[in-house]
Amino acid sequence: MLVTILAFLFVLAFSITIHEFGHFLIAKLFKIPVEKFSIGYGPPLIRRRIGETDFRIAYFPLGGYVKIAGEDEGEIAKKALKDTESTEGNTTQKTPEKQAVGFYDAPIHKRVLIVLGGPVFNILSAVFVFIVIFSVFGLLVNPYMKIDVLTGSEAQDAGLMRNDSIVSVSGKTVSDWEELLDVLVEHDGHAVTIGLVRDGDFMEKQFVVNTDSLGIMPLIPPILGSLKLDGPAHKAGMKQGDLILRIDDEKMETWHQMVNKIRVSIDIPLHFVWQGDAMIKEATITPVSFYDHTTQDTVGQIGAIMPLVRKHLPFIEVVSLATQRSAEVFWLTLKTIYQLIIGRISRRAIGGPIAIAQLSGESARWGFENLLGLLAIISINLGLINLFPIPALDGGHVMISMIEAVRNKRFSHRTRLIIQQVGYAIILLLIIFVTFNDITR
């Protein structure tokens, strides 16, 4: 529980701080005063005033805000537009340069940029987080190049066989499975020359690449990679690098064979025999349920991943890969939102604070690297969700500003207040809905 709470607070604090800092920085660049910068709502737990800004951490961490001068109908500018100010009988005229500027007194393009600062910083922060992940931890890759060949596939017709080890594609050496896939994708629809080793002999085979159905898969030994803290495997005393020999007297030869056995055994005790620390060990382990988002199915798991190795890249490749991963998450999130809207994905799949807390705890138990990966995903999601054209969200503020620009007239204070209240009501209903989903899931 403590791990979940701390991980959840870490994810929230980072995402919210980055978001609000985006608003803060753009406002400061336009020389518009920021009165408050708060992480959380309610009474301040910690506060410090720097310049004109009151920085605070409040008691309720589920959100945050910046209070920009003049948000209440440009009250700062109205005050500054007094014709004269008297000092001991003397009257001096204020110049425009000396006038304080409020949010609604700024040109519309500046207001829009300030509003967009939060979501944009969330999305950009994901790139930074991925850079940190790949720089510090490296890229996890599958080093096993022995293959299994699907019956009736083009790979089988080309002469590829089970237990062949792929070493090159059209003269380019490949050292891990991810590198192999990247090269094959580059040659999709074209013939390539596969260099492979079979029984110690090197040979080449011609193969027409079809990325929709490659017909090959890696033969991975049933060796444990990283373990989930307090997962069934960890509790049973298993360690990274242990070799699974048997499950219920069935000999385990490949990782996929082992995984398939575990996936269909939710809450069913299984007798494991494995080799670790130069000893043969055994224990009864009961797989727990896990929702697989890829297959959209609930399966069994013991809290272990396949054995991977870390590949460290030059910094320029790290930046490129981090940008690519962020773009993939960005477009996948947009696609998911679209599928939710058209009903292709059930509304039950939408998660709220409870789901984020659970995911944070799960990720933290797999290690800090996994928690950082979740942080990048959550930050992109937060940025995109805030762009929804709902009043009270950043996208709603942009929409209102655009309407005002078309009308060439600002909404009245009363109208703006009503719009905001409608927005808050919509957000409240959404919070209730996603929380209900979290509780009943």
What are the pLDDT digits (tens) for 135-177?
A: 999 999 999 999 999 988 888 988 999 999 999 999 999 999 9
* Ranges in the chain annotated CATH 2.30.42.10: 141-218, 232-308
Asked whether 247 and 263 are in contact (CB, 8 A), the reply is no
Q: 327-341: string of b/e by CB count within 10 Å (b at 16+)?
A: eebbeebeebeeeee
pLDDT score, position 226: 93
CATH superfamily of 232-308: PDZ domain (2.30.42.10)
Task: Give the per-residue pLDDT at 295.
Answer: 66
Does residue 254 carry a pLDDT above 90? yes
Kindly list the distances between the CA atom of residue 251 and the CA atoms of 245, 248, 286, in Å, as whole numbers in the listed order: 6, 8, 18
Q: What is the pLDDT of residues 42-86, one digit of tens each?
A: 898 999 999 999 999 998 877 888 999 887 654 444 444 444 344
Structure tokens at 136: 């510090």
Token pair listed for 37: 């910068």
Give the residue numbers marked as catalytic.
20
Among the residue ranges 60-69, 307-316, 346-355, 363-372, the one predicted with the least confidence is: 346-355
- Start-end of H helices in 33-107: 75-80
pLDDT at 307 over 60: yes
Q: In Å, what is the CA distance from 201 to each residue of 147, 198, 204?
A: 16, 5, 10
Q: What CATH number labels 141-218? A: 2.30.42.10
Q: What is the mean pLDDT of residues 224-245?
A: 94
Residue 416's pLDDT band, with cuts at 50, 70 and 90, is confident
Q: How far out from the chain centre does Cα 372 lie?
A: 8
- What is the DSSP secondary-structure string of 276-327? ETTEEEEEEE-PEEEEETTTTEEEEE-SB----EEE---HHHHHHHHHHHHH
Cα gap 303→300, rounded to integer Å: 9
Which two structure tokens, joined as six digits, stand for 149?
């060949």
Give backbone dihedrals phi and psi of 140, rounded to 5 degrees, phi first.
Answer: -75, 125
Say which range, 47-51, 199-203, 253-257, 425-429, has the weakest mean pLDDT: 425-429
d(CA 368, CA 350): 25
Cα angle, residue 394 at apex, residues 340 and 353 outer, rounded to 5°? 55
Q: How many CA atoms lie within 13 A of 26 on its CB side?
A: 21
Residue 290 clears pLDDT 90, i.e. is over it: no
Q: How far apart are CA 354 and CA 349, in angstroms?
A: 13
Contact 237, 224 (CB under 8 A): no
Residue 91 has pLDDT above 50, yes or no: no
Give the whole-angstrom CA distance, residue 197 versus residue 164: 6
